[in-house]
Amino acid sequence: MLGSYLRVIGKNFDVNAFLAKSEMVPYEDNVYHKGDTMGKMGVRKRGSPKRIWPYSGFSLVTNGVFGKLKPQIKGSLSFLRRYETELVKLSKNRDVESMRLIFTYCPGMGANVVERFPARLLAAAGKLGIELELSVYPGDNRFLETRRRR
């Protein structure tokens, strides 16, 4: 599973042309083209129609630690600094409809869990037109504990 990652999409975005000139390396096979059949990310139930990508884009990991915000935030801040020039180009590209930093979060079983995003992350992402998304995986933390022991 991923930690935090950047997703860039647009219905008319020429993802291949951008990536050909970019230092950014998408996560595994996470480059998608409008009209293509979804692969692993578009999991479907047996017998249901194939899902088709409604846009083109790519995803790349900013930090590989699943479920924990603190290292994901630190990694994302480093990522934003490292790729600022390319992210500015993306933010000015009329065919890019959305740039989103997605954070995976596993709060565990405790009620009333409170987390926050620091102002420097909000400012850095906002300056580049990047939205923040929190993808919550509720339940107990045994999954995280198992991964740490490996």
pLDDT (tens place) for every residue of the chain, 150 residues total: 579 999 999 999 999 999 999 999 897 778 989 998 876 555 445 555 678 889 999 999 999 888 889 999 999 999 999 999 999 999 999 999 999 999 998 887 766 678 899 999 999 999 999 999 999 887 755 555 555 545
Domains held by the chain: number: 1
Containing structural domain, residue 20: 4-40+48-149
User: What is the pLDDT at residue 81?
Assistant: 96
Q: Which two tokens stand for residue 43?
A: 């999991």
Give the whole-angstrom CA distance, residue 28 versus residue 35: 20
Q: Do the strands 98-105 and 4-10 form a parallel or antiparallel pair, or are they unpaired? A: antiparallel
Place of tokens 């249901």: 48
User: What is the pLDDT at residue 44?
Assistant: 47
* pTM score of the predicted model: 0.82
Q: How far is CA 1 from the centre of its chain?
A: 12
